Amino acid sequence: MEWQGFIIDKFGYRRAHPWHCCGICPDNNNIYDKGRCVNESSYETETDRYIRNTTYVFMTGIEGCCYFCGKTPSDYMLSCASSIAIDACPLEQQYCKRNLEKATVSEIEPSMRCFACTAFVSVIKEVKNEGIGWIKDQLRSYCRLVPFFSADCYHLLADTVLATILEKLSLNELKPTAICKQYGLCSEDQGNSTAKLLRASLGPLEAPRSRLTILSPNDGPVMPPGSLEDLAEFNYERLLTDHLGDESPEGVERTLKFLARYGLIANTALCRDCQGHQASLVKYAQAPEGLTWRCNNCRKAMETETSSRMSIRIGSFFDNSHLTIKQILRLAYWWAQHPTSKLETVMRENEISSRMTIIDFYNFLRDLCQAWVIRLQEQERLGGMGRVVEIDESKFFRAKYNRGRMLQRQYDWVFGMLERGSNKVRFFPVAARDAATLLPLIADNIEPGTLIVSDGWAAYGGIQNMQQRYDHRWVNHRVFFVDPQDRQVHTQGIEATWGALKTSLRHLRGSNEEMLPTYLFQYMFRRYHGNAKIFQHILEEMRLNYPV
């Protein structure tokens, strides 16, 4: 029988939960608690077993079967938990008892809304002599079982209820009935025999104040690198509809889940100040997204609130930006889908008043393109046996109208390579186009055995004699553009690429000329991906260059 009870660990993997055990079968002795085996000689008591067996299923609503013997909760839960639940119920026992005797786990969950808090209070009363520290450890262990709760599931009140119990413990006050009333679990609920009536009478309940992950178990794990590129290409409206949300708290939550699912922000956070204690995600009005990571351990130790807070953007591409995450994503989408838009159009469409904000942001995106190009060049070279690579050089900057002196520039030429039959191109700004400059670039970027085609520029004369053993052929443009004796000897591909590249760079003027390399990286990035799914590809670069 497949066991369906599982948790999502901090790495995003589904794992069988060792605490989900029926407490009846002999293999129960093999479970692990706090890193060591719990067997006959260790400290597991009936209370420990109750915590494992009862609260996990009732409070999470997960209908699974025993990890060891395969029995379902319906087989054993009612028999081993009913007496404890009835004794703990503050509603004079009748309603809970009637339902316990005939209901299945799934039916009990929405109607026994007093069970989650009061049964745990009962357990705490039983183990009170063990000390508050031990009780807190038990509660923390439980909270780790269920790191996220949905706002519309009534059985998921346990997190906030347990927090209240801890407060009561500190004051030595345990008042189950008061706790029930505080969370809407009062005697008026007794007449509601179905979950539908309960939902109608009580309305939506707030989610817990904190949790340990952005993604809930129902949202699935964090996706591996490259998953974004597998998504179908979408326009901005589809992006909003399928993956992002509006500016409401629910919409922001949806956006954060999209980012966490694809590794663009951290799904969990460890405190940097107290030896890696796991932080909780809590509401914080001053944060741009209304949420922040907070380490409760630090907060108690330092007795301050600000020292233990960490932005949910920490370590990501979105960190240290005054823009909202939605603005950043919209700008990235606009950069990907509208590369020729004027700056004024981008400002108007994205409701951003500062020109420098957009210029700086686009520079950051071109930096990502540069990182991609460098990584690609380290991984592979152009050409190979049976492949043709065209090479050529082109001048990009001249003195305007032949007036005045040519400004001293770091480079005037761009050396280009194009692999036929693919989208692979490479460009290198160079100060000179002599053999000493160009031949090393050829050796570093083109595979041995490649057929290299060029024009008759003298610097290419040494290609035939290079150690890499290239097959070099050249076309004399003074006579023809395509060799009539060998139709594959031409440079029309790289010549056409120069035209497309210079058209895309028409807006470069004056001081912007120093940005030429970054625009070359951007062109290579777009060209390699065939100008398709550029938005997904640039998001993937955000993930790879800013790992969280």
Where residue 524 sits, what CATH number does that domain have? 3.30.420.10
Of 185, 206, 227, the position where a domain reaches its end is: 206
Cα–Cα distance, 281 to 296 (Å, whole number): 10
Flag whether 335 is in a domain.
no
This prediction's pTM? 0.60
Tally of domains within the chain? 3
Flag whether 382 is in a domain.
yes
Count of other CB atoms within 10 angstroms of residue 95: 19
Predicted local distance difference test score (pLDDT) of residue 382 = 94
Q: Is the pLDDT reported for residue 272 higher than 80?
A: no
- Tell me which residue of 143, 52, 47 sits closest to 88, measured CA to CA: 47
Q: Are residues 221 and 184 in the same domain?
A: no
In order, the DSSP letters of 314-325 are TTSTTTT-SS-H
244-253, 322-331, 402-411, 431-440: lowest mean pLDDT where?
402-411
- Do 216 and 148 meet the contact criterion of CB atoms below 8 Å apart? yes
Domain that holds residue 302: 217-312
Q: Is the pLDDT reported for residue 209 higher than 70?
A: no
For range 21-36, the mean pLDDT: 36
Q: Are residues 201 and 221 in the same domain?
A: no
191-200, 356-365, 457-466: lowest mean pLDDT where?
191-200
Give the tens place of pLDDT for each residue, 502-536: 888 876 554 467 788 999 999 999 999 988 899 99
Predicted local distance difference test score (pLDDT) of residue 439 = 94
Residues in CB range of 371: below 8 A, 6 or more apart: 541, 544, 545
Flag whether 455 is in a domain.
yes
Of 267, 282, 312, the position where a domain reaches its end is: 312
Residues in CB range of 103: below 8 A, 6 or more apart: 78, 111
Flag whether 327 is in a domain.
no
3-state secondary structure of 472: strand
- Tell me which residue of 202, 174, 179, 217 sits closest to 111, measured CA to CA: 202
Higher pLDDT pick, 12 / 237 = 237
Helix (H) or strand (E) holding 228: helix 227-230
Q: Are residues 227 and 190 in the same domain?
A: no
User: Percent of the chain at pLDDT above 70?
Assistant: 56
148-152, 266-270, 431-435, 535-539: lowest mean pLDDT where?
148-152
202-to-189, 190, 197, 273 alpha-carbon distances in Å = 9, 12, 8, 42
Flag whether 334 is in a domain.
no
Q: What is the mean pLDDT of the chain?
A: 67
Cα–Cα distance, 439 to 427 (Å, whole number): 14
Confidence of residue 160 (pLDDT cuts 50, 70, 90): very low
Q: Are residues 184 and 41 in the same domain?
A: yes
